[in-house]
Amino acid sequence: MNQIPSFTLTLTLFSLLSLLFLPRTALAVDENFTICSVPRYCGKLNIKFPFFIEEQTEPRCGYPGFKIHCRNKTIPILSLPDGNYTINDIFYQTQSLHVSQAERDAAVCSHSIRNISLPEDRYYLDARTSTEMVLLFSCNLASQPSWELSKYKIDCAGESESNSTLALFKDDPKLSFASGFCGERVGAAVGFDHRGSGGVEGLLNRGFVLNWTASNCSVCEKSGGWCGFDYGSYHFKCFCPDRPHAARCSPGMHLFYLFLSC
């Protein structure tokens, strides 16, 4: 009755000893794992999946549509349809990042603020952390019904009661009423932190939190792998020391890698 367990144990020990004496070339670490395990930084920010740095990181180490540019090797820039944004911080656990307008010459009174435009398959605004501010231009506040809108007015040089600029939050009940007295309308994302100076301009410059949608990397990382993307099959992959896996590395794979690193 004891022969089967004894035989199994002997076979397991033999397999492990055989592994130890295999040539290193037969135990080569997978190329994807090696490439994507190299830390990448832009300034002080660690850039990893789903992001990849243009001309610095292999696209396979990121996710399609999450390319960023490292301006002057210090400033991470995210390009959205409405313009460029500086990435101030990345919160990988919550899949979110704090961004602000990269082009500081954009100003409310110069009408250079553009409508926020997010690729809906990649990014979204979480209502718990960010909201939208609506800027209304060419507003006529000269008539009596519109006088109550004066509290939303932004003091812009050269403007008058018949040509004013207003700023309201998207959920303000007066927004629809105010829109009837104005011409152009622009929506800009802002955070809920209204502290600090600078009024509307300051609020816009302080930026907002943007959430992203991509394959969750936590399971792969906890198993000892590096997240990436296979452009051949167009699927997420967990790059492990032995080979790419669908979601996670096999148990004990980190020990395999440590052995090869010795």
* 108 neighbors 156 (Cβ within 8 angstroms): yes
Per-residue b/e over 36-54, b at no fewer than 16 CB within 10 Å? beeebebeebebbbbbbbe
Residue 254 pLDDT > 70, yes or no?
no
pLDDT confidence band for 4 (50 / 70 / 90): very low
pLDDT score at 158: 84
CB atoms inside a 10 Å sphere around CB 101: 21
The structure's pTM equals: 0.80
Residue 23 pLDDT > 90, yes or no?
no
* 240 neighbors 30 (Cβ within 8 angstroms): yes
- pLDDT over 90 percentage in the chain: 62
Please tell me the distance from the alpha carbon of residue 163 to that of residue 153, in angstroms, as a whole number: 11
* 233 neighbors 41 (Cβ within 8 angstroms): no
pLDDT score at 86: 96
Facing residues of 78 across strands? Answer: 85
Q: Which two structure tokens, joined as six digits, stand for 27?
A: 């135990």
Please tell me the distance from the alpha carbon of residue 25 to that of residue 72, in angstroms, as a whole number: 40
In one-letter notation, the amino acid at residue 37 is S
Residue 17 pLDDT > 90, yes or no?
no
pLDDT score at 159: 85
Facing residues of 120 across strands? Answer: none
| CA 171 from centroid of its chain's CA atoms | 25
- Mean pLDDT of all residues in 21-47: 83
